Amino acid sequence: MDTALVCTEAEQQGRAFGRNARLGNRSQLETVRNEGLSAAGRLCVLKVLKTPPDGIRRAAFLLSRRFDLNAVVRNRARRLFREVFRLLYGQLPPLWILFIPRQPLKRAKMQDVLTEVVSLLNRLGVVVEP
């Protein structure tokens, strides 16, 4: 295995999921909710702030017990969103994004979620290649 690829993958994962890549406090979440653009699909709702104050790509996944009482179901939805964010991370401009699930996400496959998120981002004016 090529060590250059391993380093690149590790660095990619660190950037996509490190502390700097998270919307961590309530004020950041409220900023995205109040000032960001919103697009709703069948599986999820995205809220995007295209011009973040810090110029860094950040994401948050809003899953509560209202989505499902079962933690296993919520964790699966969170994993799907995290993987979509990881796959698209290199193609995204600096933005803050909130992923909010809808009930059909419980039965969705990874490719369906990725396709919908790309479609919603394109609808919001964030150009992403599938």
pLDDT at 9 over 50: no
Number of separate domains in the chain? 1
Q: Which of 4-8, 32-36, 53-57, 108-112 has the lowest mean pLDDT?
A: 4-8
44 belongs to a structural domain? yes
pLDDT value, residue 111: 97
Gyration radius from the chain CA atoms: 15
What is the residue range of 10's domain? Answer: 3-123
Is 129 among the domain residues? no
CATH (domain of 49): 3.30.230.10
Looking at the domain assignment, is residue 130 inside a domain? no
Q: Are 79 and 109 in contact (CB under 8 A)?
A: no
Which helix (H) or strand (E) element contains residue 96? strand 96-101
Any domain includes 27: yes
- How does the average pLDDT of the chain come out, rounded? 86
Q: Structure pTM?
A: 0.83
For residue 128, being part of any structural domain is answered with: no
pLDDT for residue 6 is more than 80: no
Question: Average pLDDT, stretch 58-62?
Answer: 93
